[in-house]
Amino acid sequence: MSFIIVLMASRNAALVTGAAKRIGAEIALHLAGRGYDIALHYGISEKQALETAEKVRGHGVSCELFQTDFKDLEATEKLLSQVKKTFPNLNLLVNNAAVFQSGRISETCAKKMVETFQINFISPYLLMREFHETVKKGSIINMLDERITRYDHTHSAYTLSKKALRELTYMASREFAPKTRVNAIAPGYVLPPTSENPDMKKVLKQIPMGGTGEVKDVLSAFDYLIDSDYVTGQIMYVDGGRHV
Ligand SMILES: NC(=O)c1ccc[n+]([C@@H]2O[C@H](COP(=O)([O-])OP(=O)(O)OC[C@H]3O[C@@H](n4cnc5c(N)ncnc54)[C@H](OP(=O)(O)O)[C@@H]3O)[C@@H](O)[C@H]2O)c1
């Protein structure tokens, strides 16, 4: 028994939010492949979370599920300490969960703006704060969006929340160094959104590399940020040059 505890304590562990499916699930599987124990957070996608957890365990690491609705800030504030009870070896936080909805400023009611900020900005903020306070040495990676360089008024709440998360990434990288590194990845078009059908001809015209990205491109950026002990306050754009 004590051998297992020593073994677990010596391993890396990551909390990946929104990891039941899509990019979050791929990140969790990739980290498992690198030997990380996985705290797999999900909101409502329980079935996919169970399936992803099985695949994660196939890499020979531990994986536990943590359900939290990020609209519930009290529950969100408790998430990190719950994860730490199971994984005292937690040393990586990936803020991946997000809500992506269209809507211009004129179409966005207060409730939608507040909920988007709760999920996309305040939850990562609470998790980052708690993570930094309790970790010995760690790393945080926030998922942004290349839209942070533009004013996509057709997705006003989403774009504003990701811009806020960019500023938090920079600010925390100063405050949390040298104990905790804080970096971010800003993907472009990687997986089609589930909530809408973009005009692909128009999208492709805006991408200098002339095509959409793949999850593997995001994972390469992950590897760089995880392995680079001297890198903090960095935003890696994985967008085929769309932000330029
Ligand atoms: N897809 C792309 O090409 C792209 C492009 C640019 C940036 N990004 C960023 O990359 C990240 C991953 O992208 P994605 O497209 O894979 O994301 P996604 O499918 O839109 O969302 C990821 C997860 O967020 C969770 N989530 C949403 N609302 C929640 C809530 N109230 N409480 C808890 N969890 C909640 C969902 O978990 P449940 O289903 O379990 O509720 C969902 O599976 C996001 O941060 C996104 O903004 C993606």
Q: Distance, CA 169 to ligand 1 centroid (Å)?
A: 18
Domain that holds residue 67: 2-238
| Mean pLDDT, residues 123-143 taken together | 97
> Contact at 8 Å (CB) between 134 and 80?
yes
Band (pLDDT 50/70/90 cuts) for residue 198 is confident
| Mean pLDDT, residues 169-186 taken together | 98
Which pLDDT does position 8 carry in this prediction?
59
Angle between the N-to-C axes of helices 73-86 and 123-134, in degrees from 0 to 180, rounded to the nearest 10: 30
Angle between the N-to-C axes of helices 156-176 and 123-134, in degrees from 0 to 180, rounded to the nearest 10: 10
Residue 192 lies in a domain: yes
Residue 126 lies in a domain: yes
Residue 53 lies in a domain: yes
Residue 224 lies in a domain: yes
Residue 42 lies in a domain: yes
Pocket probe for ligand 1: among 100, 114, 123, 169, the residue whose CB has the most ligand atoms within 8 Å is 100
Q: How far is CA 198 from CA 70, 191, 195, 202, in A?
A: 27, 11, 10, 8
Q: Distance, CA 195 to ligand 1 centroid (Å)?
A: 11
Q: Distance, CA 21 to ligand 1 centroid (Å)?
A: 9
Band (pLDDT 50/70/90 cuts) for residue 7 is low
Tokens found for residue 174? 């100063």
Nearest CA to ligand 1 atom 7: 145
Q: What is the pLDDT of residues 103-122, one digit of tens each?
A: 999 999 999 999 999 999 99
Residue 14 lies in a domain: yes
CATH of the domain at 176: 3.40.50.720
Residue 244 lies in a domain: no
Residue 43 lies in a domain: yes
Does any ligand 1 atom lie closer than 6 A to the CB of residue 73?
no
Nearest CA to ligand 1 atom 1: 191
Nearest CA to ligand 1 atom 38: 43
**How many distinct structural domains can be found in the chain?**
1
Q: Which atom of ligand 1 is nearest to the CA of 189?
A: 3
Residue entry with tokens 């708690």: 130
